[in-house]
Every structure is written in structure tokens, then in C-alpha cells.
């Protein structure tokens, strides 16, 4: 793959110069412009890896520019620079996938570089997934897990539990494969979550939780851009929806949550409960089963939970 191209758009030259200076040490080509219309022309003519845009600009708001950028160059990773006053409006754009990540001005010295490098990796991941074999898909999922030492092996175990349920339901082999890929990639959107949040030992703040809750949307966009099936994208997007409608990112309820996503969600919850986490000890299978039973019909599909527990207990 050729050298990554990063495009900065801001109406202040000093901001552009500062941003460019921070990336000089890396093997990255950097273009800058104060004109959002010029930025759109660049997106049409060049393969831009990451675009970083200030939200408050006189000629065009950054959010509007990034919506246009998504249409012109959907694979380009979109990052927003924003002030405290407009974080809520930017979060709305994040929630619908127009913005991959946002940085509050003034940013910390390493914060911008880290966001850009994450964006480059996310762009490269889309291209790697596009032509990946089954083994390579699993390998990419495992690489993502390296960012969080507490989730080592998680995607494989989730797939194992999901396939246990899928096989017992005698699902079509093609659907079975989609469930496997969806289970492997269900957390691929966590590339957009800072490691200090992923590995935080204390409870997350409201703002930190808002960031974490965007990972299904980010992950589903990666899957769609990579050309994987819509079923795989829906598994990634909806694996945190709850049966009573209180989940995220959309708030789907009951059978409106795709069956494949309901299956992977149960597998994800069970493995999370029975694995060590920075904020709690791992639970025994018996303790995890009791939680699944307590929350059936609220968090998870009650029929699928009952069937899953039967299969787990049978395998013990």
C-alpha cells in the first residue's frame, strides 16, 4: 500500500501548520487547505486515507463537509476537530457514522497523532478485509484484540459459543459462516476507542461511555466498506441491542433485532461474564448462567437464552 495521505482542513493557518508539524516524523503525506470546497476537489482526485476537519469554519461547517466527504470518498476516515460548545452536535454525527472520531481543541500533543494513526490503520483494515481469506479475517480480529489485553481470545470464544447455538438450530451453512465472521469482527469498531478508555479499571464516565457506545456503528461501517455481507454488518451493529429495547446504538426491540445478532449477543455476554475484566473478576459458568436467566427477556432473547443454557450445561 502506498504512503498514507492525510488531509487537514481548517480556516486557521497556524492550526494547519501545527497539525502538519506533528506528523512530520511519520511516513505520512500531509496536505492542508483552508477551503472546504478545495478539500472536496482533493477527495475527488486523490486517494485520501484520513481527513481531519475543524467544525467551525466560515465557508462551510465541518460536519457538513464530512457528510459531503462520505459521499465523495466513503473509505476516507473522517475525524473532527471541535470546541467544547459543539461536542453534542458532533456526537450526533458520530452516532450516524458521518464522523469516525472527534478531538476537542486544544488537543494534547499525542492525541491528534494517535487519532490519525488509528484512522490510517482503520483504512488499511478495510482494504485487508476486502480480499481476506477466512484465516486472514480471524487474524485481523486477533490483531484488534491486542489493544486490550483483557479480551485475548474473546472473538474466537464468542464465535465458538455462537456456533454451538447456530448448529443446534440447524441454520443454513451460509448463515453459519456469517455468524462466525460477525462474531470474530463484532468488536472491530473498538479501533476508534482510545486504549485508556478500553483498559480503564474504574467505571467509565458518561462521556467515555458515549464514545464506547459508538463502536458498533464504526465496526459496521468497516464491514460494509470491506464488502462483507449485510448480515455480518448487522451482527456487528446490533450486538449490543437489548431485547427490551434499551440497548444501543439504535434501540431495537425483540424480534426486530436480527436473529444472527441475538445469537452473537448471548455468546458475547456469556464470554464477557466468564472472562477477567479490568473492572471485575471473572465469573464461573454457573454464576454467568444465573445472570443470563435473571436478565432473559430484558437483555437477551428468552427462548435463545434457555436453549443456549441447555447446550452449555449439556457440554459441561
Instruction: Indicate if 190 belongs to the active site.
Output: yes
Distances (CA, A) of 285 to 3, 187, 262, 289: 48, 23, 20, 6
Q: How many CA atoms lie within 13 A of 99 on its CB side?
A: 26
Question: Which H/E stretch holds residue 95?
Answer: helix 87-95
CB atoms within 10 A of CB 14: 8
- C-alpha–C-alpha distance, residues 81 and 186, integer Å: 28
> CA angle at residue 300 from 297 to 304, to 5 degrees?
95
Tell me the three cell numbers of residue 100: 469516525
The answer to whether the bond into 106 is cis (omega within 30° of 0) is: yes
Quote the DSSP letter at residue 296.
B
Distances (CA, A) of 111 to 17, 42, 48, 107: 16, 25, 20, 6
Quote the DSSP letter at residue 278.
T
Residues contacting 256, CB < 8 A, separation 6+: none
- C-alpha–C-alpha distance, residues 275 and 267, integer Å: 12
Active-site hit among 190, 200, 282, 296: 190
CB atoms within 10 A of CB 85: 9
Sheet holding 101-104, edge to edge: 29-33, 5-9, 50-54, 77-82, 101-104
- C-alpha–C-alpha distance, residues 237 and 235, integer Å: 6
Q: Which residues are catalytic?
A: 190
Amino acid at each position: 500500500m502506498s504512503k498514507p495521505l492525510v488531509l487537514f482542513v481548517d480556516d486557521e493557518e497556524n492550526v494547519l501548520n501545527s497539525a502538519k508539524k506533528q506528523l512530520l516524523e511519520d511516513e505520512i503525506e500531509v496536505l492542508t487547505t483552508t477551503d472546504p470546497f478545495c478539500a472536496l476537489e482533493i477527495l475527488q482526485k486523490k486517494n485520501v486515507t484520513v481527513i481531519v476537519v475543524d467544525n467551525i469554519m466560515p465557508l462551510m461547517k465541518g460536519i457538513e463537509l464530512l457528510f459531503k466527504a462520505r459521499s465523495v470518498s466513503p473509505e476516507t476516515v473522517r475525524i473532527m476537530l471541535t470546541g467544547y460548545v459543539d461536542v453534542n452536535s458532533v456526537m450526533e454525527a458520530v452516532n450516524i457514522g458521518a464522523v469516525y472520531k472527534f478531538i476537542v481543541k486544544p488537543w494534547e500533543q499525542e492525541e491528534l497523532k494517535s487519532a490519525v494513526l488509528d484512522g490510517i490503520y482503520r483504512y488499511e483494515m478495510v482494504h485487508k478485509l476486502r480480499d481476506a481469506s477466512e484465516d486472514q479475517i480471524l487474524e485481523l480480529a486477533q490483531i484488534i484484540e491486542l489493544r486490550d489485553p483483557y479480551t485475548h481470545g474473546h472473538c474466537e470464544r464468542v464465535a465458538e459459543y455462537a456456533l454451538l447455538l447456530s448448529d443446534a438450530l440447524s441454520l443454513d451453512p451460509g448463515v453459519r459462516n456469517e455468524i462466525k465472521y460477525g462474531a470474530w469482527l463484532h468488536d472491530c469498531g473498538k479501533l476508534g476507542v482510545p486504549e485508556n478508555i478500553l483498559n480503564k479499571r474504574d467505571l467509565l464516565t458518561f462521556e467515555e461511555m458515549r464514545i464506547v457506545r459508538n463502536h458498533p456503528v464504526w465496526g459496521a461501517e468497516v464491514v460494509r466498506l470491506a464488502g462483507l455481507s449485510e448480515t455480518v454488518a448487522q451482527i456487528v451493529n446490533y450486538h449490543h441491542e437489548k431485547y427490551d429495547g434499551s440497548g444501543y446504538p439504535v434501540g431495537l426491540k425483540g424480534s426486530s433485532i436480527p436473529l444472527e445478532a441475538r445469537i452473537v449477543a448471548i455468546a458475547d455476554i456469556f464470554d464477557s461474564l466468564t472472562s477477567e475484566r479490568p473492572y471485575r473478576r471473572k465469573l464461573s459458568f454457573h454464576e454467568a448462567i444465573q445472570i443470563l436467566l435473571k436478565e432473559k427477556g430484558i437483555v437477551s432473547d428468552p427462548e435463545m437464552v434457555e436453549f443456549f443454557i441447555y447446550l452449555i450445561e449439556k457440554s459441561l
